[in-house]
Structure 1
Amino acid sequence: MATSNFIDYVKICCRSGHGGPGSSHLFRDKKNAKGGPDGGDGGRGGHIILRGNAQLWTLLHLQYQKHVIAKHGEGGSKDTSTGANGDDVILEVPIGTIARDAETGEVKTEITEDGQTVILTPGGRGGLGNAHFKSPTNQTPRYAQPGEPGLEEWVILELKLLADVGLVGFPNAGKSTLLSVVSAAKPKIANYPFTTLVPNLGVVAYRDYKSFVMADIPGIIEGASEGKGLGLRFLRHIERNSILLFMISAESADIANEYQILLNELETYNPELLEKKRLLAVTKSDLLDEELENEIRATLPANVPSVFISSITQKNIQVLKDMIWQVLTAS
């Protein structure tokens, strides 16, 4: 997933098609100069539809498509022929995409499955032809319904990554390094904060050909829930992860305090995040000797399973995978 190509937020104008007008035609042929009504209905206007596509990981293909316009329905015609429906416009989106009304912020729909289709902006209904209005007292109605107008609305599409495990930690905690070691993902790695500017996904191979998906989220800082650092932009990607793996460097002066800060930021952003299963990994533990490791272990939160790991030396990497798998498969 190229850094410059990860787009998880787009705002587009959706304009559905107008319904076609009904026909007010009266039947005529060489033997019948005054036939009854035979006007057909108008076709409906084209819908704008969202469809989930498991092969997509970003909204990049919609970044420059600011206006999405569906076709109008065609008018009805004689012989009670219904006009053709307007062509629908289908927008392929990644699984985990949410559509919001740009003005109210209300969630209109969300795509959670491959192939799932949802009408985002419905087209207008076609008008009824005059054949529908025939009655004993009005046998030759010369009027028909116009088609309903389509809708025009601004919609925000947001992507929330779907992953089994979300990596949560301060910048430079070793999240990207871990992802590069346990999967084939190639995130940018460097020894300075905010190296990761976009989320990265990796498939982690486990025993007996099993696997799970891990997401590396850009680093959180204190105040992120209020917009500091990378702020709210990427916190939403944590919402869809089954497990939150908190990663704190062994270089930290107070691991328990850092963990609490991270927890507070998540709670401020969305209290429901605290209901997710949690694990704690102390990274860069190759810098610790056994005595120092034991001292740190005594200060760690008692209610969260923890492990000391090193992505460089592979220390306890398999142990961490086992812990993750156990939590994922627990009933």
Structure 2
Amino acid sequence: FVDFKYIKVCAGNGGDGTIAFLKGLNGPIGPPAGGNGGRGGNIYITASKNITSLNNVLNRYMARSGSAGMGKQMHGHDGEDLDIVVPVGTLVKEFELLEDGERKLVVRGGAGGLGNTHFVTPTIPGPGIAGRGVRVEPIVLQLELKTMADAGLVGLPNAGKSTLLKATSNAHPKIAPYPFTTLNPYVGTIDFEDFWTMTIADIPGIIKGAHDNLGLGHRFLRHIERTKLLVYVIDLAGEAPWDDLATLQNELEAFQKDMTDRPSLIAANKADISEISKQNFAILKSKTKIPIVPISAKHEKNIRAFTGVMRKIVEEINRKEAAKSAVKTAEKNAVIASRIAARIALKNVDEKPIP
């Protein structure tokens, strides 16, 4: 699993213009007829929901160059554009790809050189020069993948996140009875009976000091940035589950200010193990205002209730986001309408007859 990569890309060079002449009526050489060189291929980066990592992204990419111009004013062929396909959620230096199918131009191909027909002057009717195509220098791009999901499972190592992901979704993460089994984020889809779906991500275990990059902390924490709902997976069988919650919140807040302000839910795991788990659940509930649902991921107890609560929160988030988007669209349309009205008014003033 690769979520960070440097790649070297180079757009295609422009093809050279050519020097050519038509056959003259009264001599061997007639008027100039050199065609322009073709444009070099552009390089685009396109987001796709069908891939989940940067593993298959190559280290180097080069688009095809445009071909040279030809005689009889025939222009050279343009170089074929090149698409680099990356996962949705990829950050490319200065811009982000957040929608499936979103496409950005990153390097423009070189312009083709002009044929000698463009250099005709009254004093030089048959120029023997042509333009060279523009050469393009390679650049280095930095790609960074941040997992996108409706909900993100956050917890200490071995809290049961992977087991919960498997119990709720179609994902099949590795599960083992030792810490740091999960080293890469897994994303699964929860399918509800009414065909409504949501995505849920298993973020690798966070430890104390993760914001200082202990235990690959930065690599793990950045995958939480784009989850709409934080789901804290807390082990009720531990000595002090409320301290585990505090550790997680402190690490998230230290990594990115106000991250803990986003909608949250607690999955109180291993609630069926012993009386201690029940006591810890009561204490944890009294120490936080975050909604909390007792579950047993291993035995899949109370999972339906848990996913139902998640759905309710995510649907509310989606409604608010849709409302904000509608307001922005309305404001944008209002600005466009006012500009059009201003242009029409200005045109009417200009066309008003002089008395």
- TM-score range for the pair, normalised by the shorter chain length: 0.7 to 0.9
Structure 2 CA distance, aligned partners of 1:288 and 1:208?
Answer: 36
1:31, distance to aligned residue in structure 2 (A): 4.7
What is the identity, as a one-letter code, of the residue corresponding to 1:81? Answer: M
Contact 2:41 2:63 in 1 (8 A): yes
Contact 2:241 2:284 in 1 (8 A): no
1:321, distance to aligned residue in structure 2 (A): 0.9
1:137, distance to aligned residue in structure 2 (A): 4.8
What TM-score, normalized by structure 2, do the two folds share?
Answer: 0.82
What is the identity, as a one-letter code, of the residue corresponding to 1:41? Answer: N
Contact 1:50 1:92 in 2 (8 A): yes
What is the identity, as a one-letter code, of the residue corresponding to 1:246? Answer: Y
Q: Does 1:203 align with 2:196?
A: no
Corresponding residue for residue 61 of structure 1: 56
1:76, distance to aligned residue in structure 2 (A): 1.3
1:55, distance to aligned residue in structure 2 (A): 1.6
Structure 2 residue runs of 5 or longer lacking an equivalent are: 320-355
Q: Which structure has the bigger radius of gyration?
A: 2
Structure 1 residue runs of 5 or longer lacking an equivalent are: 1-5, 101-106
Contact 1:182 1:204 in 2 (8 A): yes
Stretch moving more, 175-184 or 19-28: 19-28
1:272, distance to aligned residue in structure 2 (A): 5.2
Structure 2 CA distance, aligned partners of 1:148 and 1:234?
Answer: 43
Structure 1 CA distance, aligned partners of 2:278 and 2:234?
Answer: 19
Corresponding residue for residue 95 of structure 1: 88
Query: Which of the numbers 293, 297, 319 marks the counterpart of 1:311?
Result: 297
Query: Which of the numbers 17, 22, 33 marks the counterpart of 2:17?
Result: 22
Q: Secondary structure at the match of 1:28?
A: coil
Stretch moving more, 181-190 or 87-96: 87-96
Q: Which has the higher contact order (CA 8 A, sep 6+)?
A: 1
Structure 1 CA distance, aligned partners of 2:88 and 2:18?
Answer: 42
1:60, distance to aligned residue in structure 2 (A): 1.8
Deviations 1:153-175 (A, max 9, x none): 22222222221111111111110
Q: Secondary structure at the match of 2:194?
A: helix
What TM-score, normalized by structure 1, do the two folds share?
Answer: 0.87
Cα 1:272–1:296 change in 2 (3 A) is closer
Q: Secondary structure at the match of 2:135?
A: coil
1:252, distance to aligned residue in structure 2 (A): 3.1
Q: Does 1:85 align with 2:78?
A: yes
Structure 1 residues 1-331: aligned runs within 5 Å: 6-29=1-24, 31=26, 33-62=28-57, 65-100=58-93, 107=94, 109-271=95-257, 273-289=259-275, 292-293=279-280, 295-302=282-289, 304-330=290-316, 331=319
Cα 1:141–1:121 change in 2 (3 A) is same
1:150, distance to aligned residue in structure 2 (A): 1.5
Contact 1:164 1:241 in 2 (8 A): yes
Contact 2:4 2:143 in 1 (8 A): yes
Contact 1:129 1:144 in 2 (8 A): yes
Residue identity (%): 38
Contact 1:218 1:230 in 2 (8 A): no
1:288, distance to aligned residue in structure 2 (A): 4.2
> How many pairs does the alignment contain?
316
Q: Secondary structure at the match of 2:308?
A: helix
1:34, distance to aligned residue in structure 2 (A): 4.4
